[in-house]
Chains A and B, each alone.
Chain A
């Protein structure tokens, strides 16, 4: 796929476009893991995780009876005034991803290392993908650590190990969260290619994130009103209107992630029909879905997140290939 995107030259290039890829990945990961800003982010996430999980455990202990999915509740239970951990993830993950990539390309440019690195026998492809993968692996590493921490706290606090299915759901949720981070990583990578100033790239990434976080629902409801004007008179019309609203909402990576989260961590959820995600929690009572059914339910969401990531990476790729490298 990436090969066909090379618009510049139709001639066959020599050697592998990925030569040097793992060298770049290793170097950038080392940079990430030792940088001060990552330390700050890690601290922030660990504190959030510890705080919310502790609060969730207080809440869980006070309820009577053994919930078969009590470990999932560690992620989803909130205790006023603190939201649940998944509530925090919705913005901690984008923030972390943006932190990892907003100066990926323009940082090399501003340090004037770009021309020296590209004068080595590697292609630009390897440099860009290497930077993306380094960010993604770092993200995965940080999140996996947090997940382990939460499970560990759970085992200590609840005094019992998670069941096989719980572990599986938590793992798939981890993967989904990494994909969600991938979207913001790729977005920040695009802006780091477009803008010469790292600060501009960071602000632009955060602006997009805020847009989806805060304004998208407003935009969507006005859009829906424009596309299907008038008060619904029949049930069918009302259904159509709700359907449209939901479809539009799903163009936001946040919605995809929230729905995927709910589907995975709340096994009772059987569909995302005409129920808003916020109403889902605890509202649906019924027999839980088996794991494979839940995964099937959120499969479109996961592929949607991957598709957005690929699209954004492709944009960054094309921009980077055409960029003048001189200062």
Chain B
């Protein structure tokens, strides 16, 4: 490993199922302490990538390094240091939450005393201390998901990999769970998460990679991508009372950092800019003699970036 701070590194990683290529020559570099989102629609190869990183599926070709280990040669070292939350998490329903965790602790070779203290700590942290002696069969989806996190905290992982962590959660539970992810990220653990719900996870990810049919098409911070794909990362909307439309448009057009401007119905002006030009735009409207009724700013979502990008890609292919 050439860089101390790269905790997950893949090079030309490829997985084929027969003739079908699920992951195609993937180069991924994840740095210590970051929260990285592996985003893309269903079937784009996210789960396959994760399984190869964990050594649970054999790559067809290419290499993986996790904390400097090769998951195929040193699966035990990798699995002792990486916590994994599968996309469909299951527990032994006939056992209690605590009993489920004890099994995992023992599989990790922890002593009884160590196991019990870590289990108490993890259950406490996930807010499951009260229900620790209840059978998991009675748990809600959200509770299971938190138990899944408690489960992987037992091994005190340096890296946590979560596959579709918000899938099947109601919006409130999803929000709570995203907070948990954020907290884990803040505590210094490197997190790799996958999701097909781009809008949901964009705020917790430091960096995202957008996947499409086994390829990583785009990568960077959300702002970064917005900049590259949409041109402007900020979309500002102004509504006026309709007077002086001509001179307002001219005034707005002369603002710095503006990448596009158009007029919509009901006297809306929509402008895209590379910086937050809200106050300058408001001033410009005023100077042109307009009457500002509303001013909104939209920070573009990953969904938009994604949709826009693939529209372009497909147009380019047709052309």
CB <8 Å contact, A325 and B56: yes
CB <8 Å contact, A121 and B103: no
CB <8 Å contact, A326 and B90: no
B73 and chain A: residue at smallest CB distance:
A11
CB <8 Å contact, B75 and A14: yes
Excluding A112-B90, A119-B86, 12 further A-B contacts by CB distance (< 8 Å) are: A14-B73, A14-B77, A15-B76, A24-B107, A111-B91, A112-B86, A115-B86, A116-B86, A116-B90, A116-B104, A119-B84, A325-B56
In the complex, A206→B54 CA distance in Å? 37
CB <8 Å contact, A19 and B76: yes
In the complex, A167→B77 CA distance in Å? 50
Closest-CB distance, A34 to chain B (whole angstroms): 8
Q: Is A123 an interface residue (CB 8 A)?
A: yes
CB <8 Å contact, B74 and A23: no
CB <8 Å contact, B107 and A121: yes
Q: How many residues of B contact A (CB 8 A)?
A: 35
CB <8 Å contact, A31 and B94: yes
Contacts A31-B94, A112-B88, A116-B90 given; indicate if A11 touches B72 (C-beta within 8 A): yes
Contacts A11-B73, A19-B76, A119-B79 given; indicate if A113 touches B107 (C-beta within 8 A): no
Q: Which 3 A-B pairs have the closest CB atoms?
A: A112-B90, A119-B84, A120-B107
Q: Is A288 an interface residue (CB 8 A)?
A: no
Within 8 A of B (CB), among A17-39: 19-20, 23-24, 27, 31
Q: Is A327 an interface residue (CB 8 A)?
A: yes
CB <8 Å contact, A27 and B103: yes
In the complex, A301→B57 CA distance in Å? 41
Q: Return chain B residues, CB-CB under 8 Å to A111.
A: 90-93
Contacts A116-B89, A324-B57 given; indicate if A23 touches B75 (C-beta within 8 A): no
A126 and chain B: residue at smallest CB distance:
B107
Closest-CB distance, A326 to chain B (whole angstroms): 6
Q: Return chain B residues, CB-CB under 8 Å to A296.
A: none
Looking at chain A's contact residues, the main secondary structure is loop
Which of B56, B76, B93 is in CB contact (< 8 Å) with A121?
Answer: B76
Q: Return chain A residues, CB-CB under 8 Å to B79.
A: 119-122
A122 and chain B: residue at smallest CB distance:
B107
CB <8 Å contact, A326 and B80: no
Closest-CB distance, B85 to chain A (whole angstroms): 8
Within 8 A of A (CB), among B44-67: 47, 51, 54, 56-58
In the complex, A324→B83 CA distance in Å? 19
Contacts A20-B107, A23-B107, A27-B103 given; indicate if A113 touches B84 (C-beta within 8 A): no
Q: Return chain A residues, CB-CB under 8 Å to B108.
A: 120-121
CB <8 Å contact, B73 and A116: no
A26 and chain B: residue at smallest CB distance:
B106
Closest-CB distance, B74 to chain A (whole angstroms): 5
Closest-CB distance, A66 to chain B (whole angstroms): 51
Q: Return chain B residues, CB-CB under 8 Å to A113.
A: 90-92
CB <8 Å contact, B56 and A118: yes
In the complex, A9→B56 CA distance in Å? 13
In the complex, A291→B57 CA distance in Å? 52
In the complex, A324→B86 CA distance in Å? 14
Q: Is B9 an interface residue (CB 8 A)?
A: no
CB <8 Å contact, B93 and A23: no
Q: Is A13 an interface residue (CB 8 A)?
A: yes
In the complex, A31→B100 CA distance in Å? 12
Q: Is B109 an interface residue (CB 8 A)?
A: yes
Q: Return chain B residues, CB-CB under 8 Å to A324.
A: 57
Type the 1/0 row for B278-295, where 1 means its CB is closer than 8 Å to any CB of A.
000000000000000000
Contacts A324-B57, A326-B51 given; indicate if A123 touches B75 (C-beta within 8 A): yes
Closest-CB distance, B92 to chain A (whole angstroms): 6
Q: Is B151 an interface residue (CB 8 A)?
A: yes
Q: Return chain A residues, CB-CB under 8 Å to B73.
A: 11-14
Closest-CB distance, B16 to chain A (whole angstroms): 13
Contacts A112-B86, A120-B108, A326-B51 given; indicate if A14 touches B76 (C-beta within 8 A): yes
Within 8 A of B (CB), among A74-114: 111-113
Type the 1/0 row for A304-327, where 1 means its CB is closer than 8 Å to any CB of B.
000000000000000000001111
Q: Return chain B residues, CB-CB under 8 Å to A207.
A: none
In the complex, A31→B83 CA distance in Å? 26
Closest-CB distance, A14 to chain B (whole angstroms): 5
Type the 1/0 row for A109-142, where 1 means its CB is closer than 8 Å to any CB of B.
0011101111111110000000000000000000
Q: Is A290 an interface residue (CB 8 A)?
A: no
Q: Return chain B residues, CB-CB under 8 Å to A325.
A: 51, 56-57
Q: Is A8 an interface residue (CB 8 A)?
A: yes
The 13 listed contacts between A and B (C-beta, < 8 Å) are A14-B74, A14-B75, A15-B76, A20-B109, A23-B106, A111-B93, A115-B86, A116-B151, A117-B104, A121-B77, A121-B80, A324-B57, A326-B86
Closest-CB distance, B100 to chain A (whole angstroms): 9
Q: Return chain A residues, CB-CB under 8 Å to B58.
A: 8-9
A31 and chain B: residue at smallest CB distance:
B94
CB <8 Å contact, A119 and B91: no
